[in-house]
Amino acid sequence: MKKIEYQCNICLKQRIMGLPENINFNVDTRGLMDIIDVHKCKGNKENAILLHVDSDLNVRTQIPVKKENDESSIPGLPLPSPQKVERSKIEIITDHLIRIRNIDYFQINDKIRNKIFVFDQTKKNDLDKIIIDDQFLEIQILTEKEVQKKQVKKWLTGIEEAYSKATYIDVKALELVLKFLDDKVTNEMNLSDKLALELIINSICSIPQTIKEDTEFGEIFNDLDTVESRNLASIIEKCKNNDKNNILLIYNELKYNFSFSEYIAILANLVEKGIINILTINFVDKK
Ligand SMILES: [Zn+2]
């Protein structure tokens, strides 16, 4: 297994992340990837550390992320100063086969990673976008159809919550967020959708695995028609004893059966029912 290792400059803990061979994090134009490690740091206080990691998986820099309510700054360590560094703009490009019908503009301004992810099919300025903004993240959206502002904001908050917890962000996952949102934004967001958003945003770092025995699946299939049963069964089959394929790799093997939004909705349902557990690729203390 590939791994990323580093020693925290603040608490001196050795931290390690195992990365299955077929899961890849991509470097950006700087030749680096941004990975965030949250751990119990000095004084048993939770700290988030932004790591710049190169393509050989060496940690090149570590920057503590300062929280607003965190009065104690750490002397001698650089804090991110987003205003001084120009944010790089990354376009969210969707598969040409899939038309985005309900969303004209979507932007995530990531103030920690210094990146702006943008999807724009308006090419116009001064449009009345719906915006949510906090210390670390700003999200903007413009919907094609008239959708209630309150409803759209709920969706944006769902994205924000899932995004804020993400260890690694890949533009590919954001393309899928856009597709999912395009399918769903005209409806109210429910709890399943919220979980689905988390699964999509973390799809690179999430490995779905079945936790129930074969014999227990029967009752789940009983109340479903055959197409649904087949879809469910195909997902469960791919998740059996799975410890190396993430959500996206599994979808790539099943994509002719259903759309991504359908797949992720079924997966979210299986997680809610306690049939599938999500293993997350994350840093842990080195033993
Ligand atoms: Zn630490």
Distance between CA atoms of 110 and 134, rounded to whole angstroms? 10
pLDDT tens across 1-30, in order?
Answer: 899 999 999 999 999 999 999 999 999 989
Nearest to 107 by CA among 89, 125, 95, 123: 89
Task: Please tell me the distance between residue 128's alpha carbon and the centre of ligand 1 in angstroms.
Answer: 42
Task: Please tell me the distance between residue 72's alpha carbon and the centre of ligand 1 in angstroms.
Answer: 15
Residue range 73-82: mean pLDDT, rounded: 50
pLDDT tens across 272-282, in order?
Answer: 988 899 999 99
Lowest mean pLDDT among 45-59, 115-129, 168-182, 234-248: 115-129
Per-residue pLDDT at 193: 95
Rounded percentage of the chain residues whose pLDDT exceeds 90: 66
pLDDT tens across 79-105, in order?
Answer: 555 445 678 889 988 776 678 889 999
User: What HEC string does the chain produce?
Assistant: CEEEEEECCCCCCEEEEEECCCCCCCCCCCCEEEEEEEEECHHHCEEEEEEEEECCCEEEEEEEECCCCCCCCCCCCCCCCCCCCCCEEEECCCCCCCCCCCEEEEEEEECCCCEEEEEECCCCCCCCCEEEECCCEEEEEEECCCCCHHHHHHHHHHHHHHHHCCCECCHHHHHHHHHHHHHHCCCCCCHHHHHHHHHHHCCCCEEEEECCCHHHCHHHHHCCCHHHHHHHHHHHHHHCCCCCCCHHHHHHHHCCCCCHHHHHHHHHHHHHCCCEEEEECCCEECC
Distance between CA atoms of 77 and 63, rounded to whole angstroms? 8
Task: Please tell me the distance between residue 105's alpha carbon and the centre of ligand 1 in angstroms.
Answer: 38
Is residue 69 predicted with pLDDT exceeding 60? no
Lowest mean pLDDT among 35-39, 126-130, 239-243: 126-130
**Cα separations (Å) of 122 from 84, 105, 116, 144?**
29, 7, 17, 10
Task: Please tell me the distance between residue 136's alpha carbon and the centre of ligand 1 in angstroms.
Answer: 20
Task: Please tell me the distance between residue 39's alpha carbon and the centre of ligand 1 in angstroms.
Answer: 6
Is residue 76 predicted with pLDDT exceeding 60? no
**Cα separations (Å) of 22 from 43, 71, 252?**
37, 41, 13
- Residue 230 — pLDDT band, cuts 50, 70, 90? confident
Task: Please tell me the distance between residue 15's alpha carbon and the centre of ligand 1 in angstroms.
Answer: 9
Task: Please tell me the distance between residue 14's alpha carbon and the centre of ligand 1 in angstroms.
Answer: 9
Per-residue pLDDT at 71: 47
Q: Put residue 123 in one of left, alpha, beta given phi > 0 → left and psi -120 to 50 → alpha.
A: left
**Cα separations (Å) of 284 from 5, 14, 18?**
10, 9, 9
Task: Please tell me the distance between residue 41's alpha carbon and the centre of ligand 1 in angstroms.
Answer: 4
What are the sequence ranges of the domains in the chain? Answer: 2-65, 88-197, 206-280
Global pTM value = 0.88
Is residue 158 predicted with pLDDT exceeding 80? yes
Per-residue pLDDT at 196: 96
Residue range 209-219: mean pLDDT, rounded: 71
Per-residue pLDDT at 141: 95
What does pLDDT average to over the chain? 87
Nearest to 240 by CA among 199, 208, 272, 271: 208
Distance between CA atoms of 250 and 264, rounded to whole angstroms? 11
Per-residue pLDDT at 164: 92
Per-residue pLDDT at 83: 47
